[in-house]
Structure 1
Amino acid sequence: MPEGHGTGLTLVTGADRAATAAVAAAVRPAGGVLVAHDLRGLREGVVHRRLVDDDGARDAVLELAHGCVACTLREDLLPMLRRLARDPAVRDVVLLLDPGTEPEAVTEALHTLVPAGADGPLADVLAPRGVVGVLDAATWLDDAGGDDALVDRGLGLTADDERTVAQVVVGQAEHADVLVVAGRCPSPWDRVRLDAVLDRLAPRAVRLTVADPPASAPAVAADLGVEVVARLADRPADARRGVPVDAHAPLLRGQPPLAGDAGVSLLHVGHRRPFHPERLHAAVDVLLHGTIRVRGRVWVASQPEHVLWLESAGGALQVGHAGRWLAADDGARTWDDVDDERRAAAALRWDERFGDREQQLVVLVHDADPARIVEALDAALLTDAELARGEAAWRRFPDPFGHRHADPCDDLPGGVDSEPGRREGGAG
């Protein structure tokens, strides 16, 4: 039996520091340990860490050689979680994430990075209970559809943190198994629209509503904690539980509603011909206005071997490589490197000429015309005449997606310090 077997791990995430901390404290059970890293001093290489157990709270100040999230994970968080997992007195760990931290980056690290002295990643020795997301009903929808910079809200983790509030709050909600919606929307209609968005963004998440902010109502927080723990224990078999999602997994999971509601709709775009790189770049702007989330796999004519992953939240976009198409190099090498689910999906849709190459995008629209999005993306596809010219000609198309960007500490996939591809606020 592996070390730490049965020690549960619950992640609590949200942009409201006080409300999220109150929920995390309420979720910690007797015999459990709450771990929190305050990253507001990260720019100066300082991290404040707090441990809370049945005996009280213990604070420590960490000085890092490099002020980044990756270093905090490698040098302190992962080794600490391993120690707690090996402690027979610790039955549960609640990990409170800093508001500027995206949960997917942390869960990716838990499943891929191996702490010093360990035989494998921490996901092998900690039983995932799930991810709890806390959002502010009054502001979340505006934040999720906007393009405000994190640094302007005091949530940026480095001086050059270019992420937006939308990227963080959308990721926090999308990754959750239980969503705590705290506070009140400005109007009943706003609440209808918020629910419609969350139904489509996080269809598998259990949603709990509390009218009073948990931070200002201890009794409410305590009752909420009991409810959250019960819902995590009763989570469905297909709950995400913090497991990273492969870029080639099905884009529509959890059976989200496909019909429109209150001006909110989920648009699926699928094509079996490539995009012209320059026309796609020009069309990207339509995806950044009136949308909450765009995710999917893109086939660009100038890069016929590579799967591009396109992802946006509000007005921020990132594009990066997500491996190779199985049809590349006849698929001989790549085919054996992928899981059964991807092989089965490719076999079902295999095209005689293009193999598994295709466009697969899902767009969550809340304040835009879906028909305009479809029209713009259709116009970016190769014409029949361009298609007839063949791959040799396609490769010579000018390609604005051909340059990638990586910052230091890029061994943390999908995190603050390394974003795949490039991020832009528009199509320019």
Structure 2
Amino acid sequence: MTDDRIPVTVLSGSLGAGKTTVLNRVLTDDHGLDVAVVVNDMGEVNVDAEHVTQQSDLGGEEEVIELSNGCICCRLCGDMLEEVGRLADRREFDYLLVESSGISESIPVAQTFAMGFEDADFDPTDTYRLDTMVTVVNAHSFWESFDSGAALTGDEISGDAERVPEAVLLDQIEFCDVLLVNKCDLVPDDALEEIEAVLERLQPRAEIVRTEFGDVGPEAILDTDRFDFSRAQNSAGWKHELQHEHHHDPQEEHGVASFVYERRRPFHPERIAAVLSDLTDELIRAKGFFWSAGREDVAMGVDKAGTSVRAGSSGKWLATLPEAERQQFFAARPGLEDDWDDEWGDRLTRLVFIGRKFDGERLIDRLDECLLADAEMDEDWDAYADPFEPEERRELALANE
């Protein structure tokens, strides 16, 4: 059956990665498509939209939509749907290209096009088909971060942002179909191989394309038919690693390694907080959940993205739910019951680490030292000091100063 809905490509990437340059390169190429453009910028003045209009032959306000002073993943989601709905009513184009802001999270934007938005009058799934999620990576920033321990993005955001830029960038990498490694001319070939090895760990499903000055053929990001929402949700690198038994024998390629740490004994809260706040800069990504003694009500989550580490409450253990609710989870996912402990239920630690030239065995030893000793298993865990935020605060920043 032919799908005649308008295909959509979403272009993401950190500030300065080269998204607008890529956008202009594609728009000025002879691809035979009539493309409408949505450009999202955090600032009050949408500089990117002005640049797109100046550098391409798209001059009409009906063809270039500017969404400013917010992100289309949250604050401007409704505005975006209103505009793409208005465009759909005209149907004078056959492809939609969306450039999101540097701090837009990819998953909410994809969900908007793939599933709609409950508070909006316009349902995009009737008119649009999400075709490709693209993330542009600044190869030079990645390369510099390897040797200096600096932030992966090199960007600073004013105001009270909920997510740090590095976390957003890695989310964009982990949820995409195509990775454009831009500014390759600024990086030696051997360093590019290391960067690609890291990216393959973070997102093994994506096609990786090297670019200079944003020069990429339109066929790499338009009408690829690569997007599959069910696969995309489960294809992030850390989930991929959790599903493959790499536990304590990291496989290395170009110095890039990953492993999963899993234990069924709780961490001492102060000891694990100290380790999490002192993770090596060579660890680019760490993600998962852990059991902190004295917090038997909630699973504690950890998220390291580049130089930033966050940890805190991340949801309830199934063991804390009423029996009827628990049985509903077991019925939906039979494998959960097979992994159930008679005393502690589903309480455990499962963390994935991805990094470059780091000492995995030393990290495992440090984490093991955070586990409760036999004598501590019989102590009153509620008497332990809790370095993490209260339950109503989702995360605690433990950024390495």
TM-score of the superposed pair, with normalisation by structure 1: 0.75
Q: 1:77 is aligned with what amino acid? A: M
Whether 1:358 and 2:348 are equivalent positions in the alignment is: yes
Could you tell me which residue of structure 2 aligns to residue 207 of structure 1? 208
Could you tell me which residue of structure 2 aligns to residue 81 of structure 1? 84
Could you tell me which residue of structure 2 aligns to residue 375 of structure 1? 365
The alpha-carbon deviation at position 363 of structure 1 amounts to 0.3
Contact 1:204 1:239 in 2 (8 A): no
The alpha-carbon deviation at position 171 of structure 1 amounts to 2.5
In 1, Cα distance between equivalents of 2:345 and 2:376: 19
Identity %: 24
Contact 1:79 1:115 in 2 (8 A): no
Whether 1:386 and 2:376 are equivalent positions in the alignment is: yes
How many correspondences in the alignment? 385
**Does the residue aligned with 1:275 lie in a helix, a strand or coil?**
coil
**Does the residue aligned with 1:229 lie in a helix, a strand or coil?**
coil
In 2, Cα distance between equivalents of 1:378 and 1:274: 10
Whether 1:313 and 2:300 are equivalent positions in the alignment is: no
Q: 1:63 to 1:362 in 2, by over 3 A?
A: closer
Could you tell me which residue of structure 2 aligns to residue 414 of structure 1? none
**Does the residue aligned with 1:260 lie in a helix, a strand or coil?**
coil
Q: 1:395 is aligned with what amino acid? A: D
The alpha-carbon deviation at position 225 of structure 1 amounts to 1.4
Cα shift readout 1:287-329 (whole Å, capped 9, x = no counterpart)? 3521110010212122212122211111101224332211114
Contact 2:289 2:301 in 1 (8 A): yes
**Does the residue aligned with 2:271 lie in a helix, a strand or coil?**
helix
In 1, Cα distance between equivalents of 2:87 and 2:323: 44
In 2, Cα distance between equivalents of 1:69 and 1:89: 23
Could you tell me which residue of structure 1 aligns to residue 121 of structure 2? 117
* Residues 411-426 of structure 1 mapped to structure 2, 5 A cutoff: 420-426=394-400
Q: 1:335 to 1:86 in 2, by over 3 A?
A: farther
Contact 2:8 2:132 in 1 (8 A): yes
Could you tell me which residue of structure 2 aligns to residue 139 of structure 1? 141
Could you tell me which residue of structure 2 aligns to residue 186 of structure 1? 187
* Residues 253-292 of structure 1 mapped to structure 2, 5 A cutoff: 259-292=251-284
In 1, Cα distance between equivalents of 2:244 and 2:94: 30
Cα shift readout 1:370-409 (whole Å, capped 9, x = no counterpart)? 11211111111111222234xxx22332112243676xxx
**Does the residue aligned with 2:195 lie in a helix, a strand or coil?**
helix
Unaligned ranges ≥5, structure 2: none
Q: 1:69 to 1:234 in 2, by over 3 A?
A: closer
1:403 paired residue among 375, 382, 390: 390
Could you tell me which residue of structure 1 aligns to residue 19 of structure 2? 20
Contact 1:325 1:331 in 2 (8 A): no
In 2, Cα distance between equivalents of 1:272 and 1:283: 18
TM-score of the superposed pair, with normalisation by structure 2: 0.80
